[in-house]
Amino acid sequence: MANITVLGAGGWGLALAKLLFENGNNVTVWSAVEREVEELNKTRENKQSLPGVIMPEGIVITSDLDASIKDKDILVMAVASKFVRSTAARLKGKVKDGQIIVDVAKGIEEETLHTMTAVIMDELPNVNAAILSGPSHAEEVGKGLPTTVVAGARDEETAKYIQNVFASNVFRVYTSPDMLGVALGGSLKNVIALAAGIADGMGYGDNTKAALITRGIKEIASLGVAMGADPKTLNGLAGTGDLIVTCASMHSRNRRAGILIGQGKSMQEAMDEVHMVVEGVYSAKAALALSKKFNVEMPIVEKVNEVLFDNLNAKEAVNSLMLRDKKDEYALAWSK
C-alpha cells in the first residue's frame, strides 16, 4: 500500500485516483479550484470531465496543497500541461529530496521546448521525476476497461515501483528507461490528432486517416531520434499506440477540436465547444520549433500550425501535403 496524491482533478487525474484507490492505496486528490473541490466532495463526480464515474468515498479531495503532499510515496502530476510549471513551482521547498513525481500530463512547453518531466526537474531538481503514458483515455480507465501504458523513469527501481503501484487486472504497465521517448510520443501525437480530426471534419475517409497516422508516426519518430529518444519507444505504446487511439476516438478532445476546425470553425471556437484543454493546440508551435531546431522535416505539423495560427484553409493544407515533391517512402536501396 502506498500513500499517493494526485495533483489535478480533471478527468485523467480522477480516473487514475480511482484506479490507484481500487489497487489498495491511500489516495488524495488535490485541486487548486475550490469550487471544483466542493462539488466533488458533494457529488463525488466531475460531470464535465468524467461524467458517470463516481469517486469512492475513501478518496480524500482537498484544496489544501501542504496537507495533501505531506508524507507521500508518490505525487501524480495530472494538471493540464500549461499548469505543470506553476504547480511544480508551488511545491518548491515543500517536497522531500528524491520525492517520486509521476507526470501524466502530455505536452511541450512552448517557451522552453521542454517536455513536462523536464519542466518538473527544472523547477524541482531534487525530485525523482518519472512519467506514465500510452493509449489511455480517462473515460475508459475510469470505467475499468482494459488499458496498457508505459512507465518511464531514470532508474529501473523507480520504474518497477510505479509499475507495481499502478498495475491491475485492467491496467497493464510496461517499464522503460527512455523518458524522453515516452514524453515526446504522448505530446506530439496530439498535434497529429488535430490533423486527423480536421480531415474527418472535411469529410475525408479511412484512407486519409491511415495516411495521417502512418506519416504522423514517421514525423514523431524522426524528431524523437534526432533528440536522442529510442525509435522502439516511439513505435510502441507511447508513440504509435497513443497516436492511433487519439486519432481514431471521439474521446479525444484533440480529434474533436480538429473536426470542428475542419467544419469551418476557428481554433478558439473549437476549443470553446470542446470545453476542455486541447493539448495539441498548446504543443503545435513547440513541435514546429523543435523540428526547425533539430532540422527534421515535419510537413503535417507545419500545416497544422498554418491552419491554427496563420488562417490557412484546411483544404489548401491537404492539397499542399498531397502535392509535395515526389519521393521514396524510405531510403531503401534498389536492387540492380
- Catalytic positions are 189
Longest dimension (CA), the chain: 73
Please give the Cα distance from 21 to 56 (Å, whole number).
8
Give 305's contacts (C-beta < 8 A, 6+ positions apart): 284, 285, 288
The DSSP symbol for 62 reads E
Residue 120 cell numbers, joined: 518538473
* Angle at CA of residue 132, ends 127 and 134, nearest 5°: 160
CA distance 280 to 163: 27
The torsion defined by the Cα of 14, 18, 19 and 24, in degrees rounded to 10, comes to 140
- Rounded CA-CA distance 89/85 in Å is 6
Contact 42, 78 (CB under 8 A): no
Burial class (CB in 10 A: 0-12, 13-18, 19+), 324: exposed
CA–CA separation, 64 vs 31, rounded Å? 8
Nearest of 136, 135, 179, 122 to residue 156 by alpha carbon: 179
Residue 315 grid cell:
483544404
| Cα–Cα distance, 18 to 53 (Å, whole number) | 9
